[in-house]
Chain A
Amino acid sequence: MKRENRTIHVSLVVVGGGPAGLAAAIRCREQGIEDLLILERGPRLGGILRQCVHSGFGVHKFNEELTGPEYADRYIDRVRELGIPYRCDTMVTDISADHVVTCVSEEHGLTRIKAGAVILAMGCRERSRGAVRIPGTRPAGVYTAGTAQLFVNLKGYMPGKRVVVLGSGDIGLIMARRMRLEGAEVKAVLELMPYSGGLKRNIVQCLEDFDIPLLLSHTVTEIHGENRLTGVTIARVDENLRPIEETKEFIDCDTLLLSVGLIPENELARAAGVELDPVTGGAVVDEHRETSVGGIFSCGNVLHVHDLVDYVSEEAEIAGESAALYLKGELPRRQTVAARAGNGVRYVVPQRISGGGEELRLFFRPDQVCRGAMISVSSGGELLRVRNRRIVTPGEMESIVLKEEELRRVHGDITIEVGLKS
């Protein structure tokens, strides 16, 4: 371990060296902030992209299909080019409201970093078997899809040979295909809801192209096996998502992969006193991605779970730019109004907007599948903007841009609604 100062001072600490942290740090540096530091808990920069060896990243951002590591490398190369300092194998253990970041590593021991501003980019974790409360025994062979992905893609080991996937989120779909490509038998992908939580392109490319059945409105009701998984009982669910007894069926398998939701990892944000949104699990932010604690910004999957990394990068650039403005004392301070989820919408990010300035993109997630959808944005009872969409689904994030002229008409809270086109 290096013996050195246990307290250091920097302008900006970026917590997390995944896609969000990298893009935020680069943008902040490009805005003239010299003195910043990225802290990454993994052994290398790149975050979860390192294990995403499939392609499909960067279509929006770079107009080409990259693998996860290739996408990450674009940013890592830029970080190196700009000489942005970073520490890997470094775990942040605390963040205080006055921007003291405490971290632990083999190399430096325990370090306290007094920062001018902090960007939270810790990403998310997967919901576990315990969190979805599947009854049964507790054998080996039940893993989250991301854990399985790490075993296969980074460690070179198969978690099993006969696989059932619960949850049709993107990681579940990708892993169904990955396991099949590695010679495993993938018996089915089950989805509790009557629609998939993943991207349409993944359903086609990962399941349909490989004849893997997708069973909608199905769940696992029991896990079997003493030492290693021997099978699962599955059942169709009714409209209240309760399993229907007479549809129960045993499927023989040695592996159950769970892709049943992602949870932003906000334990550190909570420690810093950052206000959290109970629906997203992420911080409440304004359009600058500043949290309720001044000088602490949030972006990427720790703010809300994204479908595409391209949008993570864009959001992180906003946070990086805002942090730079904050450090220069130039971040505009205006009165804010709330941006709320109305009918048909689960959440909106940012949750607070100042209403001034140039155009502004609001991100939101529909709460159900809606064909022939009309998206409307209103403020103080006045309709600001309407847009029609052929179909919206909870699996794909939507966004809508408010132009300068529309922003001038904001008087009071903004509400986004999704309804049927009349």
Chain B
Amino acid sequence: MRYDIAVIGAGVTGSMIARELAKYNLSVVVLEKENDVAMGSSKANSGIVHAGYDARPGTLKARLNVAGCAMMPKVASELGVPYRQNGSLVVAFCDEEMAAVQELYARGRLNGVEHLYVLGREQLFSLEPHLSPAAVGALYAPDAGIVCPYSLTIAAMGNAMDNGVELKRNFPVMSLADRGASFEISSPGETVEAAFVINAAGLYADRVAAMVGDGFFTIRPRRGEYYLFDRSIGNVVRQTVFQAPTAMGKGVLVTPTAHGNLLIGPTAEDIDDKEDKKTTAAGLEKMTLAAAKSVPGLPLNGVITAFTGLRAVGSTGDFIITQSPTHPRLIHAAAIESPGLASSPAIAAYVEAMLQGMGVLTHKRREFNPYRAPIPCPGKMGEDERYSLIAHDPAYGRIVCRCEEISEGEIRDAIRRNPPAADTDGVKRRVRAGMGRCQGGFCLPLVTELLSAELGIPMDQVTKRGPGSEILSGPVK
């Protein structure tokens, strides 16, 4: 099959780019090596829409972060994604750290961050009463926000697919070859052709680049370990609380999530293995101690899960969004580490502009629909609305996940709507069944059954996250 454009990688970068390209009269395919979208850095990060004071002035990071932060409210609302502009604080715990805060303030001004304030102790505590009494002041960025990173990715891809983009999963790109008029892209099972290629392969973007001889950058994973707490303590802080950078590093954050949980982390450890997503006792202990510097006394018995995310740190220090120097029909969108999530709408627009400059994007599709209605969420509805919904479709009245109050109707939607959930983790990320305090103890068997019925496969072929991760080993004797 020959496409106009192939996007390699269905993380937040690839998915947002795909959605942008769906506005044009082009055939677009997204190639993803995993069983679902958002399986790399996009599913395991802090979920922060940074305001843009952190990146070095003049860099792409600085420019796209400030632009992306401004675009996010509209994008999130079009895509029906949980987003909250909750503001962020960079907290100082001594006078020296206040100097670092002042520096960030100045940098933010240079980057064009419009609303930035340096707060004294009293103002800080009126915003966040549970901070450590050692806090002396902070940088306050009211435009910063929180967004659910995998919901954003899923919705962007879903919207792209609804507008005609094709998604191929379990398509690990093993070779990329320039055949002159088009590229040939092969996985072990299939080969597709595309006139233009966008490399949004995350941690593996350097390997994809190397397939055509581009060796001008490398990507190294930076591990970050997190704890996620139950929603019962999700309101300990309202803003995202960072720590002022010190000689010891950037510190860890304490933040509410877009779903109302509390998140602490991450550690920052440069490693070589691009798949090493294990959590460690030492890392989590260190991270917990560091978080206690901001908010002491967080109850560890409120932890519902731990996870590790890998940031795709590039060798140039900046985002690498550029045409390949040797193959101009290939665009790299690589090294999208923090603030990559915040920047993602602006990255997509930037790539769009590059392709326009190349004369690729000429005809807009009039029927493009930027909206994606979220899956109904009866647990969050008022009583009348919920009653009517169940009257209309009783499956929304059958609760499957009791912790998050998720109904069979929502799970069915997750399995049917673009991009369809194909495994239990995919259901969890789309509608939160299994995301609550019992972590799927009660609903996993029910979700497994629903997947089996909807996909028309036996129970023991249902997986957690694609081939090789089967939930069950087979029928009983």
A272 to chain B, nearest CB (A): 15
A279 to chain B, nearest CB (A): 12
Given the contacts A104-B390, A109-B391, A137 and B304 also touching, CB distance less than 8 Å = no
A156 and B476 contacting across the interface, CB-CB below 8 Å: yes
A136 to chain B, nearest CB (A): 5
B471 and A140 contacting across the interface, CB-CB below 8 Å: yes
Given the contacts A91-B402, A130-B305, A104 and B441 also touching, CB distance less than 8 Å = no
Q: Which residues of B contact A3 (CB under 8 A)?
A: 391
Q: Which residues of B contact A1 (CB under 8 A)?
A: 390-391, 394, 397
Q: Which residues of A contact B307 (CB under 8 A)?
A: 138
B444's nearest neighbour on chain A, judged by CB, is A147
A39 to chain B, nearest CB (A): 12
Q: Which residues of A contact B466 (CB under 8 A)?
A: 227
Give Cα distance in the complex from A136 to B277, angstroms: 8
B281 and A131 contacting across the interface, CB-CB below 8 Å: no
Proximity string of chain B (389-426) to chain A, C-beta cutoff 8 Å, 1 when within and 0 when not: 01100110111001001010000000000000000000
Interface residues in A139-171 (C-beta closer than 8 Å to B): 139-140, 143-144, 146-147, 150-152, 154-161
Q: Which residues of A contact B445 (CB under 8 A)?
A: 147, 150-151, 154-155
A158 and B468 contacting across the interface, CB-CB below 8 Å: no
Give Cα distance in the complex from A160 to B474, angstroms: 8
A132's nearest neighbour on chain B, judged by CB, is B303
Residue from B301, B397, B440, B473 in contact with A161 in the complex, judged by beta carbons closer than 8 Å: B473
Most chain B beta carbons < 10 A, residue from A135, A154, A156: A135
Proximity string of chain B (442-458) to chain A, C-beta cutoff 8 Å, 1 when within and 0 when not: 10110001000000000
A135 and B306 contacting across the interface, CB-CB below 8 Å: yes
Q: Which residues of B contact A139 (CB under 8 A)?
A: 464, 469
Q: Which residues of B contact A129 (CB under 8 A)?
A: 305, 439
A136 and B474 contacting across the interface, CB-CB below 8 Å: no
Give Cα distance in the complex from A104 to B300, angstroms: 32
B26 to chain A, nearest CB (A): 35
Residue from A110, A133, A227 in contact with B390 in the complex, judged by beta carbons closer than 8 Å: A110
Give Cα distance in the complex from A255 to B470, angstroms: 11
A140 and B459 contacting across the interface, CB-CB below 8 Å: no
B303 and A131 contacting across the interface, CB-CB below 8 Å: yes
B106 within 8 A of A: no
A405 within 8 A of B: no
Residue from A105, A154, A156, A160 in contact with B475 in the complex, judged by beta carbons closer than 8 Å: A156
Proximity string of chain B (355-398) to chain A, C-beta cutoff 8 Å, 1 when within and 0 when not: 00000000000000000000000110001001100110011011
Give Cα distance in the complex from A384 to B155, angstroms: 67
Proximity string of chain A (123-134) to chain B, C-beta cutoff 8 Å, 1 when within and 0 when not: 001101111010
B110 within 8 A of A: no
Q: Which residues of A contact B444 (CB under 8 A)?
A: 143, 147
Give Cα distance in the complex from A106 to B304, angstroms: 29
Q: Which residues of A contact B464 (CB under 8 A)?
A: 139-140, 227
Give Cα distance in the complex from A265 to B47, angstroms: 29
B458's nearest neighbour on chain A, judged by CB, is A157
Proximity string of chain A (74-103) to chain B, C-beta cutoff 8 Å, 1 when within and 0 when not: 000000000000000101010000000010
Given the contacts A91-B402, A150-B445, A157-B459, A222 and B278 also touching, CB distance less than 8 Å = yes
A351 within 8 A of B: no
A64 within 8 A of B: no
Residue from B277, B441, B463 in contact with A146 in the complex, judged by beta carbons closer than 8 Å: B441
Give Cα distance in the complex from A149 to B257, angstroms: 33
A306 within 8 A of B: no
B424 to chain A, nearest CB (A): 8
B460 within 8 A of A: yes
Give Cα distance in the complex from A169 to B392, angstroms: 45
B275 within 8 A of A: yes
A250 to chain B, nearest CB (A): 14
A140 and B463 contacting across the interface, CB-CB below 8 Å: yes
Give Cα distance in the complex from A48 to B188, angstroms: 46
B394's nearest neighbour on chain A, judged by CB, is A106
Proximity string of chain B (103-123) to chain A, C-beta cutoff 8 Å, 1 when within and 0 when not: 000000000000000000000
Q: Which residues of B contact A109 (CB under 8 A)?
A: 386-387, 390-391, 394, 397
A183's nearest neighbour on chain B, judged by CB, is B477
Q: Which residues of B contact A155 (CB under 8 A)?
A: 445, 449, 459
Name the interface size band of chain B.
35 or more
Q: Which residues of B contact A150 (CB under 8 A)?
A: 445
B249 to chain A, nearest CB (A): 21
Q: Which residues of B contact A89 (CB under 8 A)?
A: 398
A156's nearest neighbour on chain B, judged by CB, is B476
Give Cα distance in the complex from A126 to B443, angstroms: 12
B320 within 8 A of A: no
Given the contacts A130-B303, A221-B281, A140 and B469 also touching, CB distance less than 8 Å = yes
B468's nearest neighbour on chain A, judged by CB, is A227
A104 and B438 contacting across the interface, CB-CB below 8 Å: no
Residue from A6, A104, A125 in contact with B397 in the complex, judged by beta carbons closer than 8 Å: A104
A89 to chain B, nearest CB (A): 6
B465 within 8 A of A: yes
A254's nearest neighbour on chain B, judged by CB, is B473
Q: Which residues of B contact A128 (CB under 8 A)?
A: 304-305, 437-441
A182 and B476 contacting across the interface, CB-CB below 8 Å: yes
B409's nearest neighbour on chain A, judged by CB, is A106
B262 within 8 A of A: no
Given the contacts A125-B441, A140-B471, A226-B275, A131 and B383 also touching, CB distance less than 8 Å = no
Residue from B280, B387, B439, B475 in contact with A110 in the complex, judged by beta carbons closer than 8 Å: B387
Residue from A6, A137, A151 in contact with B472 in the complex, judged by beta carbons closer than 8 Å: A151
Given the contacts A137-B278, A157-B460, A182-B476, A105 and B397 also touching, CB distance less than 8 Å = yes
Q: Which residues of B contact A154 (CB under 8 A)?
A: 445
B132 within 8 A of A: no
Give Cα distance in the complex from A160 to B301, angstroms: 29
List 11 extra interface pairs beyond A91-B405, A158-B474, CB under 8 A: A91-B399, A104-B397, A107-B397, A110-B397, A128-B441, A130-B439, A133-B300, A147-B441, A155-B459, A228-B470, A254-B473
Interface CB pairs A-B, < 8 A, 14: A104-B386, A104-B407, A105-B397, A125-B438, A128-B304, A128-B305, A128-B437, A130-B306, A133-B303, A137-B277, A157-B475, A159-B472, A222-B278, A227-B468
Chain A contact residues, CB within 8 Å of chain B: 1, 3, 6, 41, 89, 91, 93, 102, 104-110, 112, 125-126, 128-131, 133, 135-140, 143-144, 146-147, 150-152, 154-161, 182-183, 221-223, 226-228, 254-255
Closest 9 CB pairs of A and B: A130-B305, A227-B468, A227-B469, A140-B464, A128-B439, A91-B399, A106-B394, A109-B390, A106-B397
